[in-house]
Structure 1
Amino acid sequence: MTRRLDWDGLLNGRDLGGLPTTGGGRTRRGAVVRSEALDHLTAAGWEALLAHGVRTVLALTPEDGPDLAPRPAELETVRVPLDERAGDAFQQRWSGPVSGTPLYYPAYLREHPEAIAEAVGVLARARPGGVLVHCAGGRDRTGLVVLVLLAFAGVGAADIVADYRETERTRAAVTARFGMPDDSAPLAEFLAGRGTSVEASLRAALAGFDAAELLRAGGLTPGDLAALRARLLDPDPVNLVSSGG
């Protein structure tokens, strides 16, 4: 079953369910969706979002543009702006092309576990229903949070990398909305100049990474981790052992 979500007005949406875990299980379909900002959804797009089961939106941006069609009253939107949580000094240190790559992920995870835990805590404590996670284009900040979620769930590095790279499929259409060209090729050249690549930099971020330890250091409780595990994983006894928490 495809994970891509064809909702009217959405370009870069996909369900994080159906991914295999190291314990032999799979992530739960309908639990978490990732996408770009939702301001271009039409009324039909919002209806499709609700029909998919989404009831909470986690926005990793301080604000978005005005919604093209009214946002359903059934949705709760929670904002955890990751850039602002990191502060000006961090943003300045990681500004320019590097901010559009996973190169900054290890530094963010190491220096700001409380911001990651705040974002992930929204999923742990969300009301029943799916949670949609988005930033502006659905790649960098969303990719960082999704990396933590999938690593916590026990998804292997190859599948985490593949999910991140799936965003490249629609990148040109997403950047066109901002009046900008597709930056995938220039960023690949930038990474090559640093002696790395998208895949290699993601694998470096995942090497030795313990998502549960980070989330605990950021302030999540054992109850939060149990709730997050239950949300992310299919209710299979094998899965419940595989989350590393």
Structure 2
Amino acid sequence: MRRPTIMNAERQLFWDGCFNTRDLGGLRTADGRETRRGAVVRSDDPAGLTAEGWTSLQRHGVRTIVDLTGGDSSTAQRPAGLTGVAVELDDHSDTEFWTRWDNALSCTPLYYRAFLDRFPQKVAEVLTAIAAAEPGGVLVHCSSGRDRTGLISLVLLAAVGVGASDIAADYALTHVRRAELCAAAGLPDDTPRVHGLIAEHGTSESEVIADAVGSRDMAAYLRSAGVTAEHLAALRDRMLT
């Protein structure tokens, strides 16, 4: 019998100045292994971390920060000993794609499968950065830690064998602290709008994520996009117990 995955609440990290941070460890894989705690953390922008928050990040073992916005926004605040890697995941020069997947839809997982089809090299660039990171934990983030970070987390977890239901449950955890994150930015919580847009398309959040995960063999997808066999092996070594 497949053992239940680790309690979601145990994976949430409370670092002062970040509002949507959790460890991707403790998730079961199809071959009976488990993702390693401290290997990869997903988060909103760490530029808001206080000194206490940065200390918590370092104590958790993070040594590399991958910024999916391409701006490496935490540079000024980042303590010594942390490496920053900036990868701009979204290629907005592709106006045809972004006209189809406008700002509202790209704030939902509805666009994930289309993004994987359109931008495999961008996805491969991020996964290679994670694989090639120095020893220690890797923090992957965008602005809110939901959409771009959610997409990369989906690919990473699927590539090492985590099932769609656990990936969807991880994505859903973003909503738990979303109201707090939005309030800190002086904005209303947009979670109800996200759920409304998905419902308008006749589906659910978990179904959309399961469709994206099941649409391809993620390890084969990464290989075809340019991730080397060595880097795929490094991802598995980093991520799995």
Same fold (TM over 0.5): yes
Specify the SS of the correspondent of 2:152.
helix
1:87-113 Cα offsets, whole Å, 9 max, x none, are: 333222211321111111111111111
Matched, 1:21 2:29: yes
Extract unaligned runs of 5+ from structure 2. 1-5
Tell me the residue number matched to 2:81.
74
Tell me the residue number matched to 1:153.
160
CA distance in 1, matches of 2:220, 2:185: 37
Tell me the residue number matched to 2:20.
12
CA distance in 1, matches of 2:77, 2:122: 29
CA distance in 1, matches of 2:146, 2:42: 9
Matched, 1:61 2:72: no
Extract unaligned runs of 5+ from structure 1. 235-245
CA distance in 2, matches of 1:233, 1:80: 24
Asked whether the 8 Å contact 1:85–1:115 carries over to 2, the reply is no
CA distance in 2, matches of 1:17, 1:11: 18
For residue 66 of structure 1, report the CA deviation from its aligned partner: 6.4
Tell me the residue number matched to 2:131.
124
- Between stretches 142-151 and 215-224, larger displacement belongs to 215-224
Cα distance change on mapping 1:85 and 1:233 into 2, 3 Å = farther
Asked whether the 8 Å contact 1:105–1:205 carries over to 2, the reply is yes
Asked whether the 8 Å contact 1:7–1:41 carries over to 2, the reply is yes
Specify the SS of the correspondent of 1:39.
helix
TM-score (norm: length of structure 2):
0.92
For residue 64 of structure 1, report the CA deviation from its aligned partner: 6.3
CA distance in 2, matches of 1:86, 1:144: 20
Tell me the residue number matched to 2:203.
196
Please tell me the root mean square deviation across aligned C-alpha atoms, in Å: 1.6
Specify the SS of the correspondent of 2:180.
helix
For residue 70 of structure 1, report the CA deviation from its aligned partner: 2.7
Tell me the residue number matched to 2:116.
109
For residue 65 of structure 1, report the CA deviation from its aligned partner: 5.5
Structure-to-structure mapping, 1:129-144, within 5 angstroms: 129-144=136-151
Asked whether the 8 Å contact 2:175–2:191 carries over to 1, the reply is yes
For residue 209 of structure 1, report the CA deviation from its aligned partner: 2.1
Please, which of 51, 57, 60 is the counterpart of residue 59 of structure 2?
51
Please, which of 179, 182, 190 is the counterpart of residue 172 of structure 1?
179
- Between stretches 187-196 and 157-166, larger displacement belongs to 187-196
Give the counterpart letter for 2:149 in structure 1: T
CA distance in 2, matches of 1:4, 1:96: 27
For residue 193 of structure 1, report the CA deviation from its aligned partner: 1.2
Please, which of 98, 119, 123 is the counterpart of residue 91 of structure 1?
98
Cα distance change on mapping 1:64 and 1:74 into 2, 3 Å = closer
For residue 85 of structure 1, report the CA deviation from its aligned partner: 6.7
Matched, 1:35 2:35: no
CA distance in 2, matches of 1:72, 1:161: 33
TM-score (norm: length of structure 1):
0.90
